[in-house]
């Protein structure tokens, strides 16, 4: 009788281990697609590479301060943001003009046919160090901060 009880006990223990293992395996298999997809997202698990974006040839350099959208100051002069203005952050994501109120940022920009700002790129330090013509008419001297 003792042998039969031990056999039953061993069988129950084996069934419990198998059941626990199968639950753990199920959880791992269920989580695996999420882990793999998270590893594919740019910036997760990798160091960020410093890259300089390519800007259009027509883009000019300036300092932008949004006063109250759509009103802003570009190099201290009043300017308006176009109704469909595209403002790109340093991570190249679209941002709204309301998030920039009161901040003075170095930017590259393109005006539309009416003179309003149509495209604006907020610059990183590496991008700001690259020479580019300014919209204030300073020519090459404005590249060096004069």
Query: pLDDT digit string (tens) for 5-46?
Result: 555 556 666 677 667 666 665 666 566 666 556 656 555 544
Q: Model confidence at 139, in pLDDT bands (50, 70, 90)?
A: very low
Kindly report whether the global pTM for this prediction surpasses the value 0.85: no
Q: Are 108 and 90 in contact (CB under 8 A)?
A: no
The pLDDT, as a whole number, for residue 78 is 97
The β-bridge relationship of strands 60-68 and 71-74 is antiparallel
Query: pLDDT digit string (tens) for 106-133?
Result: 999 999 999 999 999 999 999 999 999 8
């Amino acid at each position: 009788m003792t042998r039969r009880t031990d056999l039953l006990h061993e069988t129950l223990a084996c069934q419990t281990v198998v059941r626990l293992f199968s639950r753990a395996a199920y959880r791992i298999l269920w989580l695996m697609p999420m882990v793999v997809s998270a590893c594919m997202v740019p910036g997760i698990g990798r160091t960020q590479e410093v890259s300089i974006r390519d800007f259009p040839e027509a883009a000019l350099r300036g300092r932008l301060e949004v006063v109250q959208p759509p009103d802003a100051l570009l190099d201290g002069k009043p300017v308006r943001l176009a109704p469909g203005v595209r403002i790109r952050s340093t991570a190249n994501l679209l941002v709204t003009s309301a998030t920039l109120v009161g901040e003075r940022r170095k930017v590259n920009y393109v005006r539309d046919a009416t003179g309003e700002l149509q495209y604006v790129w907020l610059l990183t330090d590496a991008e700001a160090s690259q020479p580019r013509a300014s919209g204030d008419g300073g020519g090459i001297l404005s590249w060096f901060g004069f």
